[in-house]
């Protein structure tokens, strides 16, 4: 039996320099023809890219005709300020929010709520859901979040977020399909029936991916360590070829396991994401026509 064509989505981050702006728009133009279900734009740690995120979200929506989900956090803002951002998005025609607690600002080792702000993501979700005009997506953690007491606690917290009004969840990245399947089974057992979309990280460079994994609690399999060390030793394009093959194989296993949606963390570099999509049989469905 042939499997269904999965829905795909992409994550971008807002640019802080002119060169980074060109790279973002090149990435959007390269991936938009794949007709993603939605794209998301991140929010810097401590809310540091608040305005840049807003500009990127509204520009992508206005000029590229894509369904954009804006990341929003609880960090260093009052409830009034945060909900004003939601209203500004609504006024600009944005109808999706990725609601997150957010990482601690630079210099803090843990999240501290603003005295007049949302204490955690569930409060933020409830407030956005009360508007009745936003689709809310949230984060999920197949392996324990650095601030959690374990996977069971993460499942319980995800259930609270779904019950508060979220319609789907996007996971942190992981290296092995079994990690996602175990988490999916625990969520189902807890009564979570909303879609849980696996977050996929095409590895642009092993050193950076390794640091990212260590910072967010993603376990690094020994086979991955050994494979990338050997590829880097061999030089040439071996690291890139290995990363593409590993990512495509991970996606293939997920699809074989019943997954019907994939969310790619592009890091504003489209080539490997596009190559992996091609390996999965996903090709551009339309010519990109930016709207003036």
107, 86, 106: which is closest to 97 by C-alpha?
A: 86
For 80, phi then psi, to 5°, come to: -60, -45
pLDDT given at position 116: 74
Question: Has residue 46 got a pLDDT over 80?
Answer: no
Would you say 272 and 240 are in contact if contact means Cβ atoms under 8 Å apart? Answer: yes
Token reading at 227? 């494979």
Can you list the domains of the chain with their CATH numbers? 7-280 (3.20.20.220)
| Cα end-to-end distance, the chain, whole Å | 44
Question: What value does the CA radius of gyration of the chain take, rounded to a whole number of Å?
Answer: 19
- HSE, side-chain direction, 13 A CA sphere, residue 268: 16
Catalytic annotation on 229?
no
Whole-prediction pTM: 0.93
| Cα maximum dimension of the chain | 55
Among 38, 45, 39, 37, residue whose Cα is nearest residue 16:
45
Q: What is the pLDDT of residue 206?
A: 96
Active-site entry in 11, 96, 123, 239: 11
What pLDDT sits at residue 292? 41
> What is the reported pLDDT for 284?
86
Q: Which one of 18-22, 112-116, 179-183, 216-220 scores highest in mean pLDDT?
A: 179-183
**C-alpha neighbours within 13 Å on the C-beta side of residue 88:** 15
Taking alpha carbons only, the member of 45, 5, 10, 13 closest to residue 170 is: 10
CA atoms within a 13 Å half-sphere pointing along the CA-CB vector of 76: 14
pLDDT at 104 over 90: no
Torsion of CA 179, 229, 275, 33, to 10 degrees: 70
Query: Using 50, 70 and 90 to split pLDDT, how confident is the model at 255?
Result: very high
Residue pLDDT, tens place only, 174-202: 999 999 999 999 999 999 999 999 999 99
Mean of per-residue pLDDT scores for the chain: 90
Determine the pLDDT at residue 291. Answer: 46
Over range 132-141, report the average pLDDT: 96
As given in the structure block, the two tokens for residue 270 are 């489209």
* pLDDT greater than 70 at residue 150: yes
**Pairing assessment for the beta strands 196-200 and 168-173 based on DSSP bridges:** parallel
Section 94-121 average pLDDT = 75
């Amino acid at each position: 039996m042939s499997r269904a064509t999965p829905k795909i989505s992409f994550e971008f981050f807002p640019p802080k320099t002119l060169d980074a702006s060109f790279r973002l728009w090149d990435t959007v133009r390269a991936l938009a023809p794949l007709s993603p279900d939605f794209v998301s734009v991140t929010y810097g740690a401590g809310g540091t890219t608040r305005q840049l995120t807003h500009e990127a979200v509204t520009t992508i929506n206005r000029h590229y005709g894509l369904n954009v989900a804006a990341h929003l956090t609880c960090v260093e803002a009052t409830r009034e300020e945060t909900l004003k951002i939601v209203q500004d998005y609504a006024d600009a025609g944005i109808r999706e929010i990725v609601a997150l607690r957010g990482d601690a600002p630079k210099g803090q080792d843990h999240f501290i709520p603003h005295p007049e702000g949302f204490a955690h993501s569930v409060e933020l979700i409830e407030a956005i859901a009360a508007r009745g005009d936003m689709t809310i997506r949230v984060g999920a953690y197949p392996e324990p979040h650095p601030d959690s007491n374990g996977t069971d606690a993460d499942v319980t917290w995800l259930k609270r977020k779904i019950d508060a009004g979220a319609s789907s969840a996007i996971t942190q990245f992981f290296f092995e399909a079994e990690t996602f399947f175990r988490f999916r089974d625990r969520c189902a057992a807890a009564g979570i029936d909303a879609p849980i979309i696996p977050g996929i990280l095409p590895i642009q460079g092993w050193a950076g991916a390794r640091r990212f994994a260590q910072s967010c609690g993603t376990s690094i399999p020994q086979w991955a360590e050994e494979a990338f060390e050997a590829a880097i030793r061999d030089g040439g394009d071996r690291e890139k070829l290995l990363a593409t093959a590993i990512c495509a194989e991970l996606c293939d296993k997920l699809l074989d396991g019943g997954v019907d949606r994939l969310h790619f963390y592009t890091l504003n570099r489209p080539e490997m994401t596009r190559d992996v999509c091609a390996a999965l049989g996903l090709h551009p469905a339309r010519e990109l026509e930016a709207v003036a």
